[in-house]
Structure 1
Amino acid sequence: MTTQTPPQTPNHECTRVHVTPAEGRAVRMPERGHALMPAEGCEVPRNVYWARRIAVGDVQELPPATTKGKPSK
């Protein structure tokens, strides 16, 4: 008898990434009809397109946001 494990749901942190355009770059967003990315950046899917944009320096990946709360001392 084998034990079946329940299917894993994707982790939001692993499937999305927050990026901002590199200085002097205008970056198109295919998931938004090829509109230009705003200067403050946005959250995008972690896929081949965005991995390539990060690799060539068109966008910069930001670290994940920390949870809101009191700052640690």
Structure 2
Amino acid sequence: MSDKNTAENLLDAAKAKVNEAADRAREAGHNIAHAVTGHASDKAEALEDRAKAEVHNREAHAEYNEGKREAKDGDGH
């Protein structure tokens, strides 16, 4: 992680969670499209969005954990 303070880490964690939610919504949309049309491209896009969501989830957890560590340090940095 970088030299961010607690608030910056927690803000980045929240942003990553928003991005994860957007990725999961796109995944659901592509899964629905695949169910309706049967196009393999829709399924592939759903899998790609799921992978992106997992990356954002890991980023959120890492940023949150770093923010907690910074808060416990007492200096906020």
Determine if the TM-score, normalized by the shorter chain, exceeds 0.5. no
TM bin, normalised by shorter chain, reads under 0.3
Structure having the higher helix fraction is 2
Structure number with the higher strand fraction is 1
Give the TM-score taking structure 1 as reference length.
0.25
Q: Which TM-score applies when normalising by structure 2?
A: 0.24
The structure showing larger relative contact order (alpha-carbon pairs under 8 Å, at least 6 residues apart) is 2
